[in-house]
């Protein structure tokens, strides 16, 4: 099973930054056991939502030829819980990298109603998008997420 953890892309600047939304609903299957009677979005899925957003930034900025694979979480801090009914605003920016090459360093922040819930710095490897996903399908999804399709 694959979780798509970005529900909308609000804006983006190729090669630099992207901002999106994750709506957390009570029907998310991961909430059933995390935690029983006290549903909380798992922190690792918050990280994954930010990594996915970085992946969209890389894909769209490369004309859907490149994608990203998470290689390391450098630093992560949590500041509270993301609960059912919350709308998490996600922001990711690419950081300057001394390594260059095919590696990206990213900084991400997630907030609910203006209150920071997560801050993470991670590394990701650029890979050909076609090795991960069907590029044309990903471009179509991106147009839906950014509302470029005229919905």
Take residue 50 and report the two structure tokens written for it. 């930010």
- What residues act catalytically? 34
The per-residue pLDDT for 100 is: 63
Fold of 8-145: Thiol Ester Dehydrase; Chain A (3.10.129)
- Rounded CA separation 20/53 (Å): 7
C-alpha dist (Å) from residue 27 to 32, 39, 84, 86, 91: 8, 10, 8, 13, 24
Name the percent of the chain lying above pLDDT 70: 96
* pLDDT one-digit tens code per residue, 34-74: 888 899 999 999 999 999 999 999 999 999 999 999 999 99
pTM comes to: 0.95
């Amino acid at each position: 099973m694959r979780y798509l953890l970005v529900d909308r892309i609000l804006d983006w600047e190729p090669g630099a930054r992207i901002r999106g939304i994750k709506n957390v609903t009570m029907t998310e299957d991961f909430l059933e056991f995390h935690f029983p009677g006290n549903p909380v979005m798992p922190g690792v899925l918050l990280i994954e939502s930010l990594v996915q957003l970085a992946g969209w930034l890389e894909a769209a900025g490369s004309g859907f030829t490149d994608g990203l694979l998470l290689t390391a979480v450098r630093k992560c801090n949590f500041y509270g819980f993301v609960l059912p009914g919350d709308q998490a605003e996600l922001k990711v920016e690419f950081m300057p990298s001394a390594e260059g090459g095919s590696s990206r360093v990213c900084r991400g922040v997630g907030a609910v109603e203006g209150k920071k819930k997560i801050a993470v710095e991670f590394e990701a490897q650029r890979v050909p998008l076609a090795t991960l996903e069907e590029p044309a399908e990903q471009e179509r999804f991106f147009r839906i997420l950014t509302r470029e399709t005229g919905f």
